[in-house]
A and B are shown apart, each in its own frame.
Chain A
Amino acid sequence: MMEIWHGITKAAELLTTFDPEVMDIAGRSLRISVTSSLLASLVCLPIASLIHFHSFPGKKFLISLIQTFFSVPTVAVGLFVFVLFSRAGPLGGMNLLFTPTVMVIGQALLITPILLGLTISALSGVDKALVDTARSLGANGFQTAIAVLREARFAVMAAVIMAFGRAISEVGLVIMVGGNIRGFTRVITTAISLETSKGDLELSIALGIILLLIALVINLALSRIQQR
């Protein structure tokens, strides 16, 4: 008990003095996850629109498949990315293993199923009559898609925020492909994992508090959006 209390007080000290190591790790977590969320959104939103607006054989199966991948274990994706980018692997020449870049790529890959699935869901929630209305007002295919996305904007925003939440709180993938290198690829989750296993609770608790704060902000934002 004393140990925990001691850890908390030390953690408070680290936080209030903006301890450089804590800030470095937290900042990196945010940068990597924000980047991966934006990257994935840029790719997934158009693809989700394409899937939603067109009918093709196997569409239902594809959507089922996407939903199956919602809860793909992060270590599985991590292993896949590791093997891909290892110098011994096909993309080894890009020299990206154990860098923040590959962590962004890995996280983006990880959250793609969620983003695709939830965006398609969001678009499906829009009244079909609106699509007819847009067409009858003279919107071409692209303009119609944008109008529907705009209509579903709150649900789409919720999807992006949820994806971000998943990205920033996962451990398995970023440890495997990032290597948890201090000052370079160490993020909140991997740092907590390492420091706790070494018995150094102060840094872990400080980072844990920050992670909880981030989760809190995410949830507040989500509930605000879902009220609309």
Chain B
Amino acid sequence: MKHRGIAFLLTMAGLIVLVTGMLGCKESTASPLPPKQRLRVATTTSLYDTGLWGYLEPMFEEKYEVEMDVMHTGTGIALEYGRRGDVDVITVHSKAREEQFVAEGYGVERVPFAYNHFLIVGPPSDPADIKGVSPEEASKKLIETGSGSFVSRGDDSGTHSKEKAIWKKAGYDYETVQKAGDWYIEAGRGMGPTLLMASEKQAYTLSDMGTFLSYKGKIELVPIVDRGNILLNVYSAIAVNPEKNPKTNIEMANNLIDFLTSPEIQELIGNYGVKNYGMQLFTPCAGAEPTG
């Protein structure tokens, strides 16, 4: 008798699981139309973690009747996927590497479409006393005194490249920085997760304005260093070159780039987040290279 009870419970549990499975099964509902095209986009995490892609994706999908797959990768991985032809478009923010990508023939053209600034954020207590100084001076102070922890993206992303550029400008070889001490932490993760980690550890980190603002409620960090030309952060979209990878969907890729640089969408990008965060997360720049 006891066995019957258990068998019944199991069957019930099994049925519940099956039903859950069915409910999530929207793909199985028969559709008379042929399956939609797919466009694959590999994006830097800051465009994803701010929710900008989540905001723009449905609009693009509806307009062009296409399924867009946005992959939360980070600049380094996005470039690799682009080289292999596993995605159709990449949206990243690392000018030097983007230019090389295009020069090597993997990308068609570098099209900047939005920008904001990086900033160094840190604990309100500012243990290294670097508030308000220039990025280069801040770096010098951190590495010479070791009085504050710094969490690096450590993941070959655009933000990571920018961080390395700052160390270089301050006169330090990146390898030296990596070995400088326990105060330097390599997270190996996206922007959002890195901010969370820095907050937990009461450490400094380099972040783009967009992600920082969108994580405001979740972290205890404040802006520490936000002035300096080197902190300019430009986002570009690059279509993967069909000459190197014939299987990519170049037509739809170009549609996406047109979409991103179109006046309506540019306006939407500029207004994104203003209501929630009180300031712009991104400044549109429609295909032209911003200066400051």
Residues of A within 8 A of B (CB): 18, 23-28, 30-31, 34, 86-89, 92-93, 95, 97-98, 179-182, 184-185, 194, 197-199, 210, 213-214, 216-217, 220-221, 224
- Chain A interface SS verdict (over half): helix
Residues of B within 8 A of A (CB): 6-7, 9-10, 13-14, 17-18, 20-26, 40, 49, 67, 69-72, 83-86, 189-190, 192-193, 196, 215, 218, 245, 247-248
> Closest chain B residue to A223 by CB distance?
B6
Q: By the criterion CB–CB under 8 Å, are A26 and B10 in contact?
A: no
Q: By the criterion CB–CB under 8 Å, are A224 and B17 in contact?
A: no
- Given that A87-B84, A95-B247 are contacting pairs, would A198 and B14 also be in contact in the complex, using a CB cutoff of 8 Å? no
> Closest chain B residue to A227 by CB distance?
B3
What chain B residues lie within 8 Å of A213 (beta carbons)? 13, 17
Q: List 26 A-B contacts (CB under 8 A).
A: A26-B21, A26-B24, A27-B24, A27-B25, A30-B20, A30-B21, A30-B24, A34-B21, A88-B83, A88-B245, A92-B85, A92-B247, A97-B86, A98-B69, A179-B71, A194-B72, A197-B190, A197-B192, A198-B196, A199-B192, A199-B193, A199-B196, A220-B6, A220-B13, A221-B14, A224-B7
- Given that A97-B86, A224-B10 are contacting pairs, would A198 and B24 also be in contact in the complex, using a CB cutoff of 8 Å? no
Q: By the criterion CB–CB under 8 Å, are A28 and B24 in contact?
A: yes
What chain A residues lie within 8 Å of B14 (beta carbons)? 217, 221
Besides the known contacts A27-B24, A197-B192, A197-B196, 5 further A-B residue pairs in the complex with CB atoms under 8 A apart: A26-B20, A27-B25, A179-B71, A181-B69, A199-B215
Shortest distance from the beta carbon of B125 to any chain A beta carbon, whole Å:
22
Q: By the criterion CB–CB under 8 Å, are B70 and A181 in contact?
A: yes
**Which of A18, A185, A216, A217: most chain B Cβ within 10 A?**
A217
- Chain B interface SS verdict (over half): helix
What chain A residues lie within 8 Å of B72 (beta carbons)? 180, 194
Q: By the criterion CB–CB under 8 Å, are B23 and A87 in contact?
A: no
User: A182 to B192, alpha carbons, bound, how many Å?
Assistant: 17
Q: By the criterion CB–CB under 8 Å, are A214 and B17 in contact?
A: yes
> Closest chain A residue to B218 by CB distance?
A199
Number of A-B contacts (CB under 8 A): 95
User: A217 to B10, alpha carbons, bound, how many Å?
Assistant: 7
Identify A87's interface contact among B20, B24, B190, B245, CB under 8 A: B245
What chain A residues lie within 8 Å of B70 (beta carbons)? 181-182
What are the 4 closest A-B residue pairs judged by CB atoms, nearest first?
A27-B24, A88-B84, A87-B85, A30-B21
Q: By the criterion CB–CB under 8 Å, are B192 and A184 in contact?
A: no
Shortest distance from the beta carbon of B33 to any chain A beta carbon, whole Å:
18
Q: By the criterion CB–CB under 8 Å, are B247 and A198 in contact?
A: no
What chain A residues lie within 8 Å of B49 (beta carbons)? 198
Q: By the criterion CB–CB under 8 Å, are B40 and A98 in contact?
A: yes
Q: By the criterion CB–CB under 8 Å, are B192 and A18 in contact?
A: no
What chain A residues lie within 8 Å of B25 (beta carbons)? 27, 31
What chain A residues lie within 8 Å of B192 (beta carbons)? 197-199
Q: By the criterion CB–CB under 8 Å, are A179 and B69 in contact?
A: yes
User: A28 to B23, alpha carbons, bound, how many Å?
Assistant: 10
What chain B residues lie within 8 Å of A18 (beta carbons)? 23
User: A220 to B13, alpha carbons, bound, how many Å?
Assistant: 10
User: A216 to B17, alpha carbons, bound, how many Å?
Assistant: 11
User: A87 to B84, alpha carbons, bound, how many Å?
Assistant: 6
